[in-house]
Amino acid sequence: MIPVESEASSKDGVKIIYVAKENILQFLKEKKDEGFDYLLMITGIDYKDHLEVVYHLLSSKSGERLVVKAKTDGEIDSVTSLWKGANWHERETWDLLGIKFNGHPNLKRILLAEGWVGHPLRKDYPMEKKQYVNLKEDGYDSVSFEKKEGY
Amino acid sequence: MQDKIVEVNFGPQHPSTHGVLRVKVKLDGEVIVDAQPIIGYLHRNAEKLSEMGYYPKAQIYVDRLDYAAALNMELGFVLSAEKLMDVQVPDRALWIRMMMVELNRIASHFIWLGTHGLDMGMLSPFFYCFREREKVFRILDEITGSRLLYNYFAIGGVYSDVTPKSLEMIKTWLSDFDKNLTEIENIFKKSYVYVARTKGTGKLGLDDTISYGVTGPMLRAAGKKWDLRKNKPYLHYDQINFDVPSQQAGDVYARMLVRIEEMHQSARIVAQVLDKLPAGDFYNKKYSKPMLVRIKATGESYIPTESPKGEFGIYLVGDGSAIPYRFRIRSPSFANLSAAPAMLIGYKIADMTATLSSMDPVFGEVDR
Amino acid sequence: MNLFFFLMSILYGILKFLHIDFVPFASHGYPIGLWIAYLIVAVVEVILVFALAMLVVVILVYVFRKYMADVQNRIGPNRLGPWGSLQLIADVFKLIQKQDIIPTAADKTAYRVAPYLVFTPVVIGFMIIPFGNVSLLNLMVINFNYTILFLVATMIISPIGEIIGGLASHNKYGMLGALRAAAQDMSYEVPMLISLISVIILAGSFNAQDIVIAQRHIPFVVPEFLGFIIFFLAVLGKQVFPPFDLPESASELVSGYTTEYSGMRYGIFYMGGFAGTALASLVIATIYFGGWEGPIFPGTIWLIIKAGVFMLIFLLIQVSVFRVRVDQFLNMGWKYLLPLSIVNLFISVGFALFAGGVF
Amino acid sequence: MSDNILVTTLDEALRWGTGKSLWPFTFGLACCALEMMSAMGSDYDWARFGSDVFRDSPRHSDLMIVSGTVTKKMAPRVRRLYDQMAFPKFVISMGACASAGGPYVRGYSVVDGVDQVVPVDVYIYGCPPRPESLIKALKLLQDRIADGKVKH
């Protein structure tokens, strides 16, 4: 058994479990074996002093739901080995929140262009600093801070 | 041997990608050996913008997620927000919401059916579907005052009551809806070419479906009878009779059957709501809009709803202010689309268009 | 367009030179002055046939748009001219002034020639159709003993234009479209030819006019029903018509081999498709439904009626079928149509041997 | 225009042709694309104005309807598609997002107005505009082309 740091409940009555970030892969594996076979989403929350990764689980047998949270400072183990669907969710969390998933097969930006500076869902992301995407000759994106040809 | 493999980019502008999907496909002749969907061409920062304004303000961004079924999106948001802010909703509003959501589900599936026909190489069903969809839109237009994006559900009720005229419209529309839909679905079901092309195409087994987090009609087509309206009823779905269609095959044909049966069932739900619609307030008078922007909320909530594409919900985290601290959208199309490589590799180019359209991705929701 | 007329004249000159005779004035050993007169008449006839083809295309495009709109509960073009009949004129006016983009990576000569290769053979095909038999004058531009072979030869050229166009434009969609066109062409030509041979056996002639005359009692569709079905499907496949429009299928390969073409070059492809449909209907009416044979009305009207019915059937098919997948399509060609066409050949030989006198 | 086509100059005839036969490009971006499809559909049927041939390749089409939000990632692609179209070509910017960024204008990944990327001939307001607005815009564009006010 993996130790649970603390438990809480959300407003809609779903149990929230806090786990240490080192144990997250083991803990989720246990939960998956217990019947939580669905990974609905992975997301992150930026609490300014630390980041939190949130996993929403669902058991398709009983319909039970579970929220697993882990505090991190920007790095956590990837769960792509447990759920194939975790791939895109982790990429998105990396893209928008800058949480690095160790062991992810293809941790690249997914929604924003390759080469984007910063992670926009962080609370300290400078919104007034505009970035522009341009197309390079080979068809890949390049990001710059000033308008270039084409704009 | 390397020369035989051709890399083709389908999209971001391609007639059958339903928006701005780009699929990087490696082809060996006509056969797909590798397919990687590339998304993000419609990333409109809905989450960031929602975290910048008051709770009710986020609704305009929620509206524009799955623009084909905007009311379903709004429902996910208002349910979650009401839970977080402890807002009570009058009974009539709940019933109205249910009816509107089902109407919009039908409209959304009509878009899917029409464009699916287009992708399979036939133009006419597109027009028939849009003709039928316009009939739904006239009703929605009458009730909400808008055609596509409604901003109709409010935290604490709905913005306007259904009028007697609109109820009449729904009744006349219902009287021949099933007949019209059967006419259109027979174009598909009775076409030898369509059946031959779609049976066994784009297969996704149940294990893969669950592993990818695929929900909605695609899950039901893969053999699991899972519908949140039945399994975890919200609104008043537990007081209504309807069936959850499911198929075993998990291919494009099964998805077509499931979606079409869902449309019939939605019409059934609308008919029952018409009978059971209670009198009373449609809006909680305590929470007018100026009030709502003052409500401070803490904690977190996530109410899953069954949108036309699958499980949709909004994960709200409040920090004790009137602005959501974290606003995460669980979009079904995003998860469904991530399963695309598993459905495409090994099939032919022609199957790709069939499979992609059978997933029914809407890019406002995938890219958010 | 000049290039087109030029090519047509040269071709006609070659025909003359090979003593492939020119119908109304067939004679040998004529003086040079007469030769020039023939050439002038030939050019006039070519222009007439070209005008006819264009007229048919214009009518067909208009009917197609209106018919499709009607099937789809729409109105269709109705702003220009009476009932929108001038719409195609506006389209042509627009197309001729569109910029003619030639991609830098394209093979320029082949890219330029390809649309004409699609359109020209269709117009040449129009010359072989016997449009009627008014007293002594045959309404037929080319008439010699092997017109059906000549027709087949021209029909084979237009897919080559599609292939060249697709490959020359140096575009991946174009290339895929060209490959599909090649596969489609190969697998449907053979059944088409074999079912055509059955007709030739029954008629005992390679001449289109003789084939029409041979059907004066019973049209060939009666003994050759199987062959007619095969020929119909094969023509559908060869003319890149739905449900077999794989090389230019919009939802898969953007526009296939025409993807890179713009302006009038694309317009020629577009019109070539419709002209091909018209030609296919005329050919079917000629070799299976007795061409201009028919009571009361003049022959030309009969031919127009028969071909018109087939044009409408082609349009009806276009608005009411799903597209076939490539492998299914090729399977149909090789596994069903080819064996069936050979069976049909034997049937026809049987007819010719034992009931030859009837036809 | 159709009444006196025979007596006008060639130039006017060509303009008439261009204006009355605008083949739109099948180019859907976001929400507005659905309203664009509705305008195609049976109820609104803008084939009446000669725009029934929706072309899938940019080379064949004359009219680009920017239907929806243009994101930073998509903007260079929109430009490229515009460049691929053959002259004369026209652009309708449909809806608030395409015209000025719409509700997303404060965000980080949305271009505030497609006119930064491609030249626009007609703007339509609305979020999304109703199909009637799109037909109005089409008529407006046709009239302007016929009057020679649009030069491309």
Q: How many CB pairs under 8 A join C and D?
A: 98
Which residues are CB-contacts of C338 (< 8 A; sequence separation ≥ 6)? C190, C191, C194
C85 and chain D: CB distance < 8 Å anywhere?
no
State how far residue D97 is from chain C, nearest Cα, in angstroms. Answer: 27
Question: C326 and B194: CB-CB below 8 Å?
Answer: no
Question: B334 and A88: CB-CB below 8 Å?
Answer: yes
Q: How many domains does chain C have?
A: 2
For chain B, domain boundaries:
2-367
Is C64 within the bounds of a domain? no
Q: Which of D2, D49, D57 sits opposite C254 (nearest CB)?
A: D57
Is C72 within the bounds of a domain? no
Which residues span the domain enclosing A147? 112-151
- CB contact at 8 A, C165 and C261: yes
The model's pLDDT over B249-278, given as tens digits with 9 standing for 90+, comes to 888 888 888 999 989 999 989 999 888 888
Q: What is the mean pLDDT of residues B281-309?
A: 82
Both A131 and A84 in a single domain? Answer: no
Which residues span the domain enclosing D79? 23-147
* pLDDT at residue C136, as a whole number: 45
B197 and chain C: CB distance < 8 Å anywhere?
yes
> Which is nearest to B143 in space by CA: B89, B81, B101, B91?
B101
Could you give the 3-state DSSP secondary structure of residue A77?
A: strand
> Which is nearest to D29 in space by CA: A41, C31, B19, A54?
B19
D:92-151 residues touching chain C, CB 8 A cutoff: none
Neighbour tally for B271: CB within 10 Å: 17
> Which is nearest to C57 in space by CA: C311, C318, C316?
C311
Q: Give domain B2-367's CATH number out of 3.30.70.270, 1.10.645.10, 1.20.1560.10, 3.40.50.300.
A: 1.10.645.10
Q: How far is Cα B47 from Cα A41, in angstroms, rounded to an integer?
A: 15
Does chain D reach chain B with at least 3 CB pairs under 8 Å? yes
Is A1 within the bounds of a domain? no
- The CATH number of whichever domain residue D63 belongs to comes to 3.40.50.12280
The distance from CA C278 to its chain's CA centroid, rounded to whole angstroms, is: 6
Neighbour tally for C52: CB within 10 Å: 17
Distance from the first to the final alpha carbon of chain D: 21
* pLDDT at residue C239, as a whole number: 76
Q: How far is Cα B246 from Cα B243, in angstroms, rounded to an integer?
A: 9
Question: B197 and C325: CB-CB below 8 Å?
Answer: yes
Which of A35-39, B201-205, B362-366, C239-243 has the lowest average pLDDT? C239-243
Which residues span the domain enclosing C8? 2-30
Both A82 and A33 in a single domain? Answer: yes
State how far residue C72 is from chain B, nearest Cα, in angstroms. Answer: 6
- CB contact at 8 A, C234 and C195: yes
Q: What is the DSSP string of B89-153?
A: --HHHHHHHHHHHHHHHHHHHHHHHHHHHHHTT-SHHHHHHHHHHHHHHHHHHHHHS-SS----E
Which residues are CB-contacts of C18 (< 8 A; sequence separation ≥ 6)? none
Residue B13: both structure tokens together: 């502008």
The model's pLDDT over C24-78, given as tens digits with 9 standing for 90+, comes to 444 455 556 666 666 777 777 778 778 888 888 888 888 888 888 888 888 888 8
- Which residue, among B30, B191, B256, B347, would best test binding to C if mutated, counting the most C CBs under 10 Å from its CB? B30
The model's pLDDT over D58-114, given as tens digits with 9 standing for 90+, comes to 888 888 888 888 888 888 888 888 888 887 888 888 888 888 888 888 888 888 888
Q: How many domains does chain D have?
A: 1
> Which is nearest to B262 in space by CA: B292, B228, B236?
B228
How much is the pTM?
Answer: 0.86
Both C164 and C303 in a single domain? Answer: yes
Question: B315 and A54: CB-CB below 8 Å?
Answer: yes
* pLDDT at residue C250, as a whole number: 66
Q: What is the mean pLDDT of residues B203-221?
A: 86
Is C66 within the bounds of a domain? no
Q: How far is Cα A77 from Cα A66, in angstroms, rounded to an integer?
A: 19
Is C8 within the bounds of a domain? yes
Structure letter (DSSP) for residue C127: H
Q: How far is Cα B12 from Cα B21, in angstroms, rounded to an integer?
A: 5
Phi, psi of B301 (to 5 degrees): -155, 150
**Percentage of chain C modeled with pLDDT above 70:** 84
Give A111's contacts in chain B (Cβ within 8 Å).
39-40, 43, 367-368
* pLDDT at residue C24, as a whole number: 44
- CB contact at 8 A, B79 and B234: yes
Distance from the first to the final alpha carbon of chain C: 43
Strands (E), C124-270: 133-134, 137-138
Q: How far is Cα B270 from Cα D9, in angstroms, rounded to an integer?
A: 60
Both A86 and A128 in a single domain? Answer: no
Both C15 and C119 in a single domain? Answer: no
The model's pLDDT over A46-73, given as tens digits with 9 standing for 90+, comes to 888 888 888 888 888 888 888 888 888 8
Both A32 and A80 in a single domain? Answer: yes
Q: What sections of chain B are H helices per DSSP? A: 46-50, 59-63, 70-85, 91-119, 124-144, 164-189, 192-198, 206-211, 217-221, 228-231, 252-276, 289-292, 332-338, 340-344, 349-359, 363-367
Is D82 within the bounds of a domain? yes
The model's pLDDT over D21-53, given as tens digits with 9 standing for 90+, comes to 888 887 878 888 888 888 888 888 888 887 776
Q: Which of A12, A63, A110 sits opposite B39 (nearest CB)?
A: A110
The model's pLDDT over B68-123, given as tens digits with 9 standing for 90+, comes to 888 888 888 888 888 888 888 888 888 988 888 998 999 889 988 888 888 888 88
Q: How many domains does chain A have?
A: 2
- CB contact at 8 A, B84 and B248: no
Both C248 and C134 in a single domain? Answer: yes
Is A136 within the bounds of a domain? yes
State how far residue C242 is from chain B, nearest Cα, in angstroms. Answer: 8
- Which residue, among A95, A108, A125, A133, would best test binding to D if mutated, counting the most D CBs under 10 Å from its CB? A133
Which of A44-58, B209-223, C80-94 has the lowest average pLDDT? C80-94
* pLDDT at residue A85, as a whole number: 84
* pLDDT at residue C1, as a whole number: 45
Q: Which residues are bridge partners to B35 per DSSP?
A: B25
How many CA atoms, within 13 angstroms, populate the side-chain half-sphere of residue B149? 23
- Which residue, among C73, C96, C98, would best test binding to D if mutated, counting the most D CBs under 10 Å from its CB? C98
Question: C261 and D48: CB-CB below 8 Å?
Answer: no
Q: How far is Cα A66 from Cα A101, in angstroms, rounded to an integer?
A: 21
Q: How many CB pairs under 8 A join A and B?
A: 93
Q: What's the whole-number average pLDDT of chain C?
A: 77
State how far residue B28 is from chain C, nearest Cα, in angstroms. Answer: 11
ipTM of the shown complex: 0.82
- CB contact at 8 A, B320 and B298: yes
* pLDDT at residue C35, as a whole number: 66
Residue of C304 and B175 predicted with greater confidence: B175
Is D10 within the bounds of a domain? no
The model's pLDDT over C149-193, given as tens digits with 9 standing for 90+, comes to 888 888 888 788 888 888 888 877 888 888 888 888 888 888 888
Nearest CA in chain D to A128: D108
Question: D73 and A133: CB-CB below 8 Å?
Answer: yes
Structure letter (DSSP) for residue D24: B
The distance from CA B75 to its chain's CA centroid, rounded to whole angstroms, is: 11
Residue C138 scores a pLDDT above 60: no
Q: How far is Cα A22 from Cα D111, in angstroms, rounded to an integer?
A: 41
